[in-house]
Amino acid sequence: MTDKIQKIIEEISNLTVVELNDLVKSLEDKFGVAMPVFQSAPTSSAPAVEEEKSSGLVDVILVDSGANKINVIKVIREINPNISLKDAKDMVDNPPQKVAEKIDSAKASDLKKKFEEAGAKVELK
């Protein structure tokens, strides 16, 4: 791998979820193609659970939408702009809902803060 590519990878790994999402959207717009999201599937469920606990991966679960549901919908669509407005509204209207899966605990804390600022209550599991 060249130094140039290595530097790009290092920069990307320092992005937040929202920044990474913006990067993907910008690349899609620039090159006119959809960027696939790559995930490696675990070979068995037991190692995945161990890895999840040791690496600090958590799920963000919307427990209560609060009074200002519009702001909560905006946060959900900011996290995942590919979700339709109807689906985001359904998530807000029918808690508890998983709004993010297996993300780094630091990023999950940032998302929790955003949801709380919007008036919602979330849990990290």
Q: Tell me the residue ranges of DSSP E strands in the chain.
A: 57-64, 97-104, 121-124
**In terms of pTM, does the model score above 0.75?**
no
How confident is the model over 26-48, as pLDDT tens digits?
877 777 776 555 444 444 444 44
Looking at residue 39, what is its pLDDT? 41
How confident is the model over 42-100, as pLDDT tens digits?
444 444 444 444 457 888 899 998 888 889 899 888 888 888 888 888 888 988 888 88
Helix H or strand E segment including 3: helix 3-13
Looking at residue 10, what is its pLDDT? 84
